[in-house]
Chain A
Amino acid sequence: MEIAEIKQNENWTEVIEPRTHFLDLHLKDVWRYRDLLMLFVRRDFVATYKQTILGPVWFFLQPVLTTLTFTLVFGKIAGISTDGLPMVLFYLAGITLWNYFSECLNRTATVLKDNAPIFGKVYFPRLVMPLSIIVSNLVKLAIQFALFLCFWGYFLGTSSVVHPNVLMLLFPLLVIIMGGLGLGFGLVITAMTTKYRDLIFLLTFGVQLLMYATPVIYPLSTIGEKYKIFILANPMTSIIETFRYSFLGTGTFSWMMLGYSFLFMLVVMFFGVIIFNRVERSFMDTV
């Protein structure tokens, strides 16, 4: 009887404790909840464009309108160089990639605060929520990338300024690095904002600033030696440059810079996930 009881007590499937090991990330749980992740993605799309007249057309309109603005302001008025590329194509390339990164970052950075009502009522692996953000932005990126390909194909066929090369195959890697960077930074920020809301105010400003520190509206070649080091230290720089280099044929490409971005992404992801994991278990008390 006693032995039976002891044996029975060993079969606990789960133990809730005050602290867990910092590497205990419950990734198995995240996998078990993959259906939920996809449903969140679906919810994102359905909810965003319900009761709008244009609906999903907005996915195309957003980058087109931004491109037009940039062409007008930075291209025509400020006269910033586009390395001899058609302005529309140059800006659209930068915006398509930048939008993905900034959306991932912005939405992940407020994920705990935005979803506090759900998190306060029911348990599921919290990581599912930020991951769903990354995936739904991935779908958005695919749509906007298709738009870019249309313009790209048009210029490829009608002019001789566009020179794509085989490095285009690196595109999936670029997307992974950007997603990882957005997720990692976002997780760090969201974990910190549960207690100190100050960071939220800095976020919008910071993301905007970061865009100007990334060759989105200008080519890297226009930057003087004095400031180049700062722009190169930005892990997003090599991604945009690689993208332009491979699809459009202008810009710079170096394996070292890309490797730097990749490593940067791994480090940020590692810290982001660990900090998030620490905070997710108790943030309901402080948010």
Chain B
Amino acid sequence: MSQTNIRVENISKLYRLGEVGTGTLSHDLNRWWAKMRGKEDPFAKVGEVNDRTKKSDSEFVWAVKDISFDVKQGEVIGIIGRNGAGKSTLLKILSKVTQPTTGNIKLKGRIASLLEVGTGFHPELTGRENIFLNGALLGMTKSEIHSKFDAIVDFAGVERYIDTPVKRYSSGMYVRLAFAVAAFLEPEILIVDEVLAVGDTEFQNKCLGRMKDVSVNDGRTVLFVSHNLPSLKAICQRGILLQNGQLVSDGTINDIIEQYSSQHLAEEKMVDCIHYFSENLKIVELRVNGNDRNTFSLEKDELNIYVKMALKIKTPYELDVHFKADDFFVASYSNFVRNDSPTLEPGVYEMNYKIKLPELRSGKYKMDFYFTVPFASWFAILTNSVIVDVINNKVSTFLTHPTLNWGRILLEGDVNTKKID
């Protein structure tokens, strides 16, 4: 049985909202007075669950509240949550950048955090000098860095520029060098926050590989925060889901991602986002693959669209569906391009569309719906508010990078290779 090397117990952190610096003297005096009488911090009581979308009178919020979990040696844990869920705060507490308000964390072994690559890089210093400075900043001694120097330079692939000041580096080289230093740290516990959002795909995969290597072969513990679900899936075994500063669930990474996707996306009903141009049509229900929310993930290459609607007039009717990526139309569906549209009598209708999709790259897409009188006018539209997170597990994670210069539609084909010489 591998041993526990991080134990987080009831960690909470209180933050003050609004402007810090005005009126703090009176608060400080108040606090001090309460402390002198042996009472609780008077401002801590008013803190409440951190939901950034809701307005509240309280100036104080719990950025994280009562979080407890254990991490075993060699585990790679993904920490998932929406923006503001408390992930970064938790990591900051773990890496001792800030202290918790209550609770404690027990650690076994050295801890190194990588909250941002290139922290402490000085633009005037050369790559070589920065490797030493950055390494020391992350807790390595000079001799440790010496022994790893060649490996770091090799990993970063910047050998030619090693004696050039880093201000002359391209941003890509800068990031590679910075990550390389961190990748060769030898702490027992490594904390990584969103660093993989930078660098090209080749380098990202190299980093992911290195992180996996670090945990599997060297038995180190890694805590990893990312919004990139495929890369989380690729390297983590276990996940923790945070919501409004609280730990919502703790389980295998696949379960947690699934839960996150469904919760994260349960924002609003699609039918509530429809914009009407006519009173003659009313959409009562709209579902895509059984889901009625305006953000969802899609793992299959088939769409089952269910529409329930009330029609007041007799009219030709058609539904157009578009898939967009970065505001370019990727794929469209409508029946009128092939046959005449049906003419419907007034009444209540249920319609089931079954649409086959081409193979798409993983990533975010928008789905637009146009409820139309073909070639004439719109009854209603639903545009730019339905977000589809396409997850394509059948292809390499290489293709998950959002800015990769690749088509969104993956074509199928065969190759016939013959050795002729």
Contacts and interface: CB of A to CB of B under 8 A. Distances in A.
B120 interface: yes
Nearest to B140: A35
Given A14-B107, A36-B136, 13 more contacts: A9-B4, A9-B106, A18-B104, A35-B142, A39-B132, A39-B136, A43-B133, A46-B122, A47-B124, A47-B125, A119-B97, A122-B137, A195-B28
B138 A122 contact: yes
Interface of A: 8-9, 11-18, 32-33, 35-36, 39-40, 42-43, 46-47, 50-51, 117-124, 195-197, 281-282, 284-286
A284 B94 CA distance: 14
B189 to A, nearest CB: 10
Q: Across chains A and B, which 8 residue pairs bring their CB atoms closest together, nearest first? A: A36-B136, A123-B96, A16-B105, A12-B106, A121-B119, A35-B142, A281-B99, A14-B107
A138 to B, nearest CB: 20
Contact of B133 (A9, A39, A117): A39
B139 A124 contact: yes
Nearest to A19: B99
A14 B139 CA distance: 15
B21 A121 contact: no
Given A121-B116, A121-B119, A122-B97, A18 B102 contact: yes
A40 B108 CA distance: 29
B136 A16 contact: no
Contact of B99 (A18, A40, A196): A18
A42 B133 CA distance: 10
A18 B100 contact: yes
A142 B198 CA distance: 44
A119 B137 CA distance: 10
Nearest to A198: B21
B115 A121 contact: yes
Contacts, number: 117
Interface of B: 3-4, 7, 15-16, 20-21, 24-25, 28, 92-111, 113, 115-116, 119-120, 122, 124-125, 129, 132-133, 136-139, 141-142, 165
A121 B97 contact: yes
Contact of A124 (B16, B109, B137): B137
B96 A16 contact: yes
Nearest to B109: A13
A122 B99 contact: no
Nearest to A286: B20
A175 to B, nearest CB: 26
A12 B103 CA distance: 16
Contact of B3 (A8, A196, A285): A8
18 contacts: A12-B106, A12-B108, A16-B94, A16-B105, A17-B104, A35-B136, A43-B125, A43-B129, A46-B122, A47-B124, A118-B137, A119-B97, A123-B95, A195-B20, A196-B25, A281-B98, A282-B99, A285-B20
A123 B15 contact: no
A16 B125 contact: no
B24 A195 contact: yes
A122 B125 contact: no
A15 B122 contact: no
A47 B122 contact: yes
B104 A118 contact: no
Nearest to B118: A121
A14 B8 CA distance: 12
A193 to B, nearest CB: 11
Contacts of A33: 136, 139
A101 B83 CA distance: 46
Contacts of B7: 9, 12
Nearest to B132: A39
A269 B192 CA distance: 37
B97 A16 contact: no
B36 to A, nearest CB: 16
A114 to B, nearest CB: 13
A33 B137 CA distance: 8
A33 to B, nearest CB: 7
B97 A123 contact: yes
A15 B107 contact: yes
Contact of B113 (A9, A117, A122, A281): A122
Contact of B106 (A15, A18, A43): A15
A11 B120 contact: no
B107 to A, nearest CB: 4
Contacts of A123: 95-97, 113
A123 B16 CA distance: 22
A281 to B, nearest CB: 4
Nearest to B100: A18
Nearest to B95: A123
Given A43-B125, A46-B129, A123-B113, A196 B97 contact: no
Contacts of A35: 136, 141-142
Contacts of B100: 16-18
Given A8-B4, A122-B137, A196-B25, A284 B98 contact: yes
A263 B297 CA distance: 69
Given A12-B107, A18-B103, A285 B97 contact: no
